[in-house]
Each structure stands twice: as structure tokens, then as C-alpha cells.
Amino acid sequence: MPTGRDPGPLTPLEAQAEHATLASEIAGHDRRYHQDDAPTISDAEYDALRRRLEALEAAFPHLKAAASVSVGAAPSGKFAKVRHKVPMLSLGNAMNEAEARDFVARVKRFLDWPAEKPLAITAEPKIDGLSLSLRYESRALAYAATRGDGAEGEDVTPNIRALMAAPDATIGIPATLPADAPDIAEIRGEVYLGHRDFAALNAKQAETGGKIFANPRNAAAGSLRQLDARITASRPLRFFAYGWGEMAGMPANTQFGMVEAFRAWGFPTNPLMARCESADDLLAHYRLIERERPTIGYDLDGVVYKVDELALQARLGFVARAPRWAIAHKFPAEKAVTRLNAIEIQVGRTGALTPVAKLEPITVGGVVVSNATLHNADEIARLDARIGDFVVIQRAGDVIPQVVEVVQDRRPAGSVRFEFPTLCPCALKTPVIREATSGGAEGAVRRCSGEFACPHQRIEHLKHFASRRAFDIEGLGEKQIAFFYDCPVEALRIREPAEIFTLQRRNEASIQKIENFEGFGKTSVAKLFAAIEERRRISLERFIFALGIRHVGETTAKVLARAAGEWPAFEAQAKRIAAADAEAIADMQALDQIGDAVTEAVAEFFTRAEAVAMVDRLAGELTIIPAEKPAAESPVAGKTVVFTGSLEKMTRDEAKARAESLGAKVAGSVSKKTDLVIAGPGAGSKLEKATELGVKVITEDEWLALIA
Ligand code: IVH
């Protein structure tokens, strides 16, 4: 029972001890009340315990951070989802010095900044871990979330609190922020594991028969995403703050100043961050970090450059999922030499046959590599790779390892040339075709001509469909898809996406049940059905992405979904494109970042009767949620605008990017379809045309006032 003594005079240790006892007592009462329906104390007594806990936490705020661990419930079996108030973006890459210089030049051009004038850009290590967003409300940690798909992450608050409360805590995340911090502050950064801690963890895992991690990043991710926060707390994870999400106020007006403020608030920040003034400065700092890399004690995969002034960052804005004001200058890939034991053919979702090098396993950059891509037949010929050869392989970050060259003077006498198959390795042995490129020449890619008849293609298609970024069906991974594709009970097979959604009905009607097969149980089957049901409602953008149309990645799918609004509208447009309707094609190509490749792929997909029928069956099982049109509130959303003459307050690129981000289409010439012409000094024929057609013409200032 609470002592009732004023917590003020308690020593921190006494307070901590009492807090821990109280927390576990309360947890016990919570369990008996909520789960067992068998409380052992009165409500008034319970309230007194709670008040005492709160009094302790008010006097010793750091105890609050530890609270939800000790009070927290048993692992839930799943993380709750958190929608990020400000999306968590990724970065574009520069693979060499020339591309890094291009970045600086591009930024200056966009801002109309004289090429020779210094421009402050920061350079800091790119930590190879996983990003984390920490939200503080009224200066107390409210929740912590992983990046997830950038829009929605996983709530890992109990794990972060457990790390903060661990006896030898290394995470360094403060539970509260000082009084000068704003009311709402989302601090973002990277969670990582040091080399020494990684080696010790793997040694312990080996001893206890636990999972061995491939590299520190996987180990950090695996450790943070534990359902049992106590396991997370036992891993010495660390954190560097480098960015932010929603902020109710800004402590600085530069990138560098923001990070300094984070440091002052108690966050670990990277000591190798520098403010540079030119591309030469940035590259000098890059080389310095590269020199430190072998002894720094944690994995880096490059250097991130960020325009320092936040006002300039705002002007530069974003392209797709990455800011225009930042870039990751990657370190060169790591290389190793090993033997090429065999070449196998894999058939992808679109039927492309990819040769895969089966290698004598070797460690490259801390990861054991036994497969590498050889891309296509031309690449094998270019490398002159023969089975038995010694080959140089390279691995860069997340990228699939590649064979870069053959060590010619180590070629063994018996090395064997590889004959590229002319038939698909699937059971149907369909002929392989070599497509012509748009220029008419023979393309490099060989494709199985079986399309939907080819089981390899169908399986790959199903894998893509159920994958995390598409329908994200938990419990329907590669293994399960392979099982359902060839299920011995025909009534339980899944051979196309629609059949995922009829599986439960079919299982109920079947005498032989999924739960009776090895690898499944009553619980896992119930969970699978629940996961499938959860996805019966799906956003239009995920739906379009999941269809697996060539060249339609997540970003493109989002653009298409937003433009179409609803599925029937998209399908109708796609069918018109398939019928070579010039207007439909032009409409799609007018969208940001959409060109021939996408419209041709859409046409190809929707000319196949089988594909259309399959999509219709699928759509019949689902509720497809229309795309949000966030830009609709903007007065220029959906409008076609034309800029002409010279602009004085912004560059042409900037004006175009801004207009597009507000949902407008920026056209190059004036026509009947133009809604608005923004004319600056020196406007000529376009202005005349606009007057002639009666299109509304405004000045740059009027435009700025309109979109303000
Ligand atoms: S800034 C809007 N800075 O790299 C810009 N990212 O490729 C957001 N990362 O998801 C990122 N170190 O997980 C930034 N110093 C650093 C970083 C860093 C590592 C990771 C981060 C991000 C990914 C993007």
C-alpha cells in the first residue's frame, strides 16, 4: 500500500524502488480486473495506488519513461500501426563524386543561385541502421514509431521505453525535453548497433542456439522489433538524431542549428557532422568520413548532404519520396573473389529469365553471399563468365550482389560455357522469346512467352501481390504461396489473387482443411484469415501497385491513383490506353513522372483478356477505397497552368515543382485546355495566344498570392 509520504524528500533510488513495486502491483490489479474479471481491491484503493504512482512520476519524471514497461501488458503479438504526421522520406543517391557535384549544381540552378557563390550544405555520416521517429507532447515522450512504408510505421514505444530504462542504457533518448523545446516535437534519427556489440550478440546467440544476424542493421531491426520489450532492452542499441517531423516551433533556422538544438535537448548527435560551403568542401568531408570508417565502430554506408538553410529546403521541396534538398553520397561497394559453381535461371513476375550465379559462399561487407545476379544472357557474354571460374562480386548496401568481372588468369582448365535455355524452366517448357526494344533492336531480356500459363510467373505475381508494400498479407509469405499454389487439395489452391479472398469460404466447404496440413495449425489459419479479411478494403494506390504492371512501382501507382480517384475510372482509362486512344494516353503522360514506359506497360497489361478478367475477379472480392486528393483544397488543383515570360521571385523549375505539388498540371504551351497563364515581363506569343483564346492571365505576384 502507498506510504503517502511526500515524494519530494525521497532519494532517486528510493523513488525508483517504490515506483517499481507500485508499478508491478498496479499491473497485477489491472490484470485481475481486466483479464480475470476478479479484482482484489476496491476502486478507491486502486485509485490511491495510481495517485501515488503519479506523484512519484511528477517528482521524478524519468520514472515515467520506464513506466509503461513495468506497467505494460504482455506482448500483444503484433505492433500497432502509427500514421506519421509528416511522412518519413528516403534519400536519392549519388554513386560517385561527379554525381555529388551534380547535386550541388542542380540545387543552385533550382534556386537561381550564382554558381560561384558559396551555399551552406551540411555533410554527415549515413548510419546503416533503421530510422525511428520519437514524438514528444508537452515535452514528454508520447510514442516512438519505426519508418514502416514512410506513411505508416509500427508503434515500438514499449521497446524504446524499455531501452531507456535498461540498467546500462546505451540508447541515450531523453524521456523529457527541456522547457525551451516546443509543445510538439518529433525527433527522428537512426537506431543502430555497434560492431563490438553486434559480434557479442551473435556470439551469445550462437551459444544459446538463437538466430544469427547477417549484419548489424538486421540485428538492430530484429532487436527493436521484438514483441517482448525485455529482449529489446537486453540489446545495446544506440541512436543518433538527425532530423524531425512535426514541430510546433523551430529552435533554429538551419539544419545544423536544429541538430545542435537536439544535442542541447539531450539527444546523441553525430560528431562528424560539418557545415560546408562548396562541392569541394563536401567531398573533402566525405573523404574524411571514409577514412574514419574502418575504426568508427558502427556501419556507415555513405555521407548525407543537406542544404543548410531551412527556408531554402522549403523552396526546394520534394520529388516523389525524396527531398530535393538532400542526397546520400554512397561509399563504393565492397568486393570479394569467389568461385562460380553454377548458373541457375529464375523466372520473374513479368516472365523475364534472370540468370543467377550460384557462388561458393563468401563474406562481403559482413554478409555471407552465395547468390549474385548476372542480369541477362548479354551480361554473361560480356563478362565471359564460365562455370568453374573465379569471379569478383560486389555488394552495396541493400542491393543484390553482382558479378563484376571474371579473374581471367585464374580460369581453371575445365570451366564450362553456359548455354542460355531456349525453353522456360517451368513444367510447360514454353519457348523463350527475346523482345525487341523500342528502337527495333533485339532487347537483352529473354522472357517466357507463357504469361499467365507459366507457374513461375504466377507464383512471383502472387508473391508480389501479398508482399508488404502491396497487400501486406501477414502469414502469406513465399513458403505459404508455394504451398497453396500446388496444394494437394485442389479446392484449397491459390493460383490468382482473387482466390486468396475466397480461401476461407473454400476451406469451410472442404472436407480436408488447411489446419490439417503440416506447418499450419488452428491459430495460424485463423490469423491468416483475419489478415486476409483486413485487406478486403484496400486503397486504390496499393491496389494498382499490387497488380504488378511493369514499370508501375509504388510512386507511380500513387500518382495514377490520385489522378484517377476511383478504380472504375482508372480501369476505363487503362482500357482506352490499351485500345490506343491517343487522348487517354496523353492524359496519363501529362502526369508527373509518367512517360512512354508506363503507358506502354499499362497498354500491354490491359490488352490481355486474361489479365483483365483476373483483375475483375479480384476487384469483385474487394472494396477499393478511392484515392485521397489532398491537393484538392488548393485553388489550383486539377488546373492546367502555363508559365511564360521571366519570373522574378522564383526559378522556372521551382515554379513548376510548386504548382505540381499543389495538384496543378504545368503545360508548355497555351491551348483551349489551359486554365491559367502566369505571365512575367517579356511574355510573347503565349500571352497573345491566351488573350486570343480568352484564357485568364495573371502576374507572378497574383500567382503567389493565389497559392499562398
Ligand atoms: S535524412 C528527408 N540523415 O537513410 C531525409 N537519413 O536513405 C530523411 N539515414 O530512411 C533522411 N543516416 O534511415 C538522413 N544522417 C542521416 C542518415 C539517414 C541514415 C537513413 C534513414 C533514411 C535512409 C534514406
Residue 23 pLDDT > 50: yes
**DSSP states of 31-54:** IIIIISS---S-HHHHHHHHHHHH
Query: Please, is 487 exposed, middle or buried when counting C-beta atoms within 10 Å of its C-beta (0-12, 13-18, 19+)?
Result: middle
The SS3 assignment for 210 reads coil
What is the Å distance from ligand 1's center to 105 Cα? Answer: 22
683 pLDDT tier (thresholds 50, 70, 90): confident
Nearest Cα to 528, choosing from 507, 543, 544?
507
What is the Å distance from ligand 1's center to 317 Cα? Answer: 16
What is the Å distance from ligand 1's center to 91 Cα? Answer: 7
Distance of CA 486 to the CA centre of its chain: 32
Average pLDDT, the chain: 89
Can you give the pLDDT at residue 8? Answer: 65
| Mean pLDDT value across residues 594-602 | 91
| Mean pLDDT value across residues 516-527 | 93
What is the Å distance from ligand 1's center to 90 Cα? Answer: 6
Can you give the pLDDT at residue 400? Answer: 78
398 pLDDT tier (thresholds 50, 70, 90): low
What is the Å distance from ligand 1's center to 217 Cα? Answer: 13
Instruction: Find out whether 134 and 203 touch, Cβ atoms under 8 Å.
Output: no
Q: Report the range of poorest mean pLDDT among 197-211, 477-491, 494-508.
A: 197-211
72 pLDDT tier (thresholds 50, 70, 90): very low
439 pLDDT tier (thresholds 50, 70, 90): low
Q: Report the range of poorest mean pLDDT among 201-215, 368-382, 435-449, 672-686.
A: 435-449
Sign of CA dihedral 682, 686, 689, 693: negative
- The single-letter DSSP state of residue 670 is -
- Ligand 1, pocket-test mutation among 304, 308, 319, 324, most atoms within 8 A of CB: 304
Distances (CA, A) of 460 to 347, 351, 607: 8, 9, 21
Q: Give dist(CA 95, CA 299) in Å, integer.
A: 18
Distances (CA, A) of 260 to 39, 430, 615: 50, 62, 52
Nearest Cα to 370, choosing from 349, 342, 346?
342
Residue 124 pLDDT > 90: yes
Nearest Cα to 40, choosing from 10, 1, 87?
1
Q: Give dist(CA 513, CA 491) in Å, integer.
A: 10
Task: Tell the residue number behind the cell numbers 490489479, with chain if given.
Answer: 29
Residue 629 pLDDT > 50: yes
Nearest Cα to 151, choosing from 86, 70, 102?
86
| Mean pLDDT value across residues 208-234 | 90
| Mean pLDDT value across residues 678-683 | 90
Higher pLDDT, 77 or 587: 587
| Mean pLDDT value across residues 224-238 | 94
- Ligand 1, pocket-test mutation among 91, 95, 240, most atoms within 8 A of CB: 91
What is the Å distance from ligand 1's center to 303 Cα? Answer: 10
Task: Name which residue sits closest to atom 23 of ligand 1, judged by CA.
Answer: 90
Nearest Cα to 87, choosing from 172, 24, 149, 25?
149
Q: Give dist(CA 109, CA 542) in Å, integer.
A: 35
In the beta sheet, which residues pair with residue 326? 306
Q: Report the range of poorest mean pLDDT among 82-96, 174-188, 423-437.
A: 423-437
Q: Give dist(CA 561, CA 557) in Å, integer.
A: 6
Residue 434 pLDDT > 90: no
Higher pLDDT, 376 or 624: 624
Give me the amino acid identity at 315.
R
The SS3 assignment for 498 reads helix
Residue 442 pLDDT > 80: no
User: Which helix (H) or strand (E) covers residue 301, if one does?
Assistant: strand 300-307
- Which grid cell sits at 592? 508527373
Q: Give dist(CA 421, CA 464) in Å, integer.
A: 25
Could you tell me where the DSSP H helices lie in 477-516?
478-485, 503-509
Q: Which residues touch 440 (CB under 8 Å, ≥6 apart)?
A: none
Give me the amino acid identity at 68.
S
Can you give the pLDDT at residue 689? Answer: 93
Higher pLDDT, 75 or 344: 344
Distances (CA, A) of 628 to 388, 552, 560, 561: 55, 19, 12, 9
In the beta sheet, which residues pair with residue 143? 135
| Mean pLDDT value across residues 403-423 | 93
Instruction: Find out whether 262 and 241 touch, Cβ atoms under 8 Å.
Output: yes
Residue 695 pLDDT > 80: yes
- Which grid cell sits at 321? 519520396
Q: Report the range of poorest mean pLDDT among 437-446, 489-498, 571-580, 656-665.
A: 437-446
539-625 carries CATH number 3.30.2290.10 = no
Distance of CA 151 to the CA centre of its chain: 9
214 pLDDT tier (thresholds 50, 70, 90): confident
Task: Name which residue sits closest to atom 10 of ligand 1, judged by CA.
Answer: 90
Can you give the pLDDT at residue 36? Answer: 47
Task: Name which residue sits closest to atom 17 of ligand 1, judged by CA.
Answer: 126
Residue 100 pLDDT > 90: yes
The superfamily (CATH) of domain 640-707 is: BRCT domain (3.40.50.10190)
Backbone angles phi, psi at 154, to 5 degrees: -105, 140
Can you give the pLDDT at residue 511? Answer: 94
702 pLDDT tier (thresholds 50, 70, 90): very high
Can you give the pLDDT at residue 69? Answer: 37
Residue 157 pLDDT > 90: yes
Residue 159 pLDDT > 90: yes
Q: Report the range of poorest mean pLDDT among 52-56, 585-589, 702-706.
A: 52-56
Q: Give dist(CA 649, CA 678) in Å, integer.
A: 13
State which ligand 1 atom lies nearest to the alpha carbon of 270: 15
42 pLDDT tier (thresholds 50, 70, 90): low
Nearest Cα to 134, choosing from 241, 236, 238?
241
Nearest Cα to 240, choosing from 261, 267, 219?
267
Can you give the pLDDT at residue 110? Answer: 94
| Mean pLDDT value across residues 567-583 | 95
Residue 463 pLDDT > 60: yes
Nearest Cα to 548, choosing from 340, 343, 264, 351?
351
Sign of CA dihedral 537, 541, 544, 549: negative
708 pLDDT tier (thresholds 50, 70, 90): confident
| Mean pLDDT value across residues 408-430 | 90
Q: Which residue ranges make up each domain of the chain?
A: 12-69+333-410, 85-320, 473-534, 539-625, 640-707
pLDDT tens readout for residues 237-272: 999 999 999 999 999 999 999 999 999 999 999 999
Nearest Cα to 352, choosing from 236, 297, 433?
433
Could you give the residue numbers annotated as active site?
A: 126
State which ligand 1 atom lies nearest to the alpha carbon of 90: 24
What is the Å distance from ligand 1's center to 349 Cα? Answer: 30
Instruction: Find out whether 512 and 535 touch, Cβ atoms under 8 Å.
Output: no
| Mean pLDDT value across residues 332-349 | 91
Can you give the pLDDT at residue 372? Answer: 93
State which ligand 1 atom lies nearest to the alpha carbon of 124: 15
What is the Å distance from ligand 1's center to 278 Cα? Answer: 21
- Ligand 1, pocket-test mutation among 88, 93, 121, 127, most atoms within 8 A of CB: 127
Higher pLDDT, 601 or 630: 601
Can you give the pLDDT at residue 384? Answer: 95
Can you give the pLDDT at residue 348? Answer: 87
Q: Give dist(CA 185, CA 252) in Å, integer.
A: 13
31 pLDDT tier (thresholds 50, 70, 90): low
| Mean pLDDT value across residues 84-110 | 95
Can you give the pLDDT at residue 37? Answer: 47
Can you give the pLDDT at residue 247? Answer: 97
- The single-letter DSSP state of residue 79 is P
Instruction: Find out whether 587 and 573 touch, Cβ atoms under 8 Å.
Output: yes
- The single-letter DSSP state of residue 352 is B
What is the Å distance from ligand 1's center to 392 Cα? Answer: 30
Residue 465 pLDDT > 80: yes
Higher pLDDT, 174 or 7: 174
Instruction: Find out whether 84 and 40 touch, Cβ atoms under 8 Å.
Output: no
2 pLDDT tier (thresholds 50, 70, 90): very low
Ligand 1 lining (C-beta closer than 6 Å): 89-91, 124, 126-127, 131, 147, 190, 242-243, 304, 323, 326, 328
Q: Which CATH class is domain 85-320?
A: alpha beta
Q: Which residues touch 154 (CB under 8 Å, ≥6 apart)?
A: 79, 80, 81, 82, 145, 146, 148, 225
- Which grid cell sits at 39? 479484482
CATH architecture of 12-69+333-410: Beta Barrel (2.40)
Bridge pairing between strands 238-247 and 184-192: antiparallel
Residue 58 pLDDT > 90: no
Higher pLDDT, 365 or 183: 183
Could you tell me where the DSSP H helices lie in 234-273?
255-264
Higher pLDDT, 628 or 706: 706
Query: For the chain, how many helices (H) and strands (E)?
Result: 25, 26
Query: Please, is 699 exposed, middle or buried when counting C-beta atoms within 10 Å of its C-beta (0-12, 13-18, 19+)?
Result: middle
Instruction: Find out whether 50 and 6 touch, Cβ atoms under 8 Å.
Output: no
Task: Tell the residue number behind the cell numbers 537512426, with chain if given.
Answer: 190
Can you give the pLDDT at residue 440? Answer: 61
| Mean pLDDT value across residues 695-706 | 92
Residue 370 pLDDT > 90: yes
Can you give the pLDDT at residue 13? Answer: 73
Instruction: Find out whether 451 and 457 touch, Cβ atoms under 8 Å.
Output: yes
Q: Which residues touch 66 (CB under 8 Å, ≥6 apart)?
A: 19, 161, 164, 165
| Mean pLDDT value across residues 283-289 | 97
b (16+ CB within 10 A) / e for 388-405: ebbbebbbbbeeebbbeb
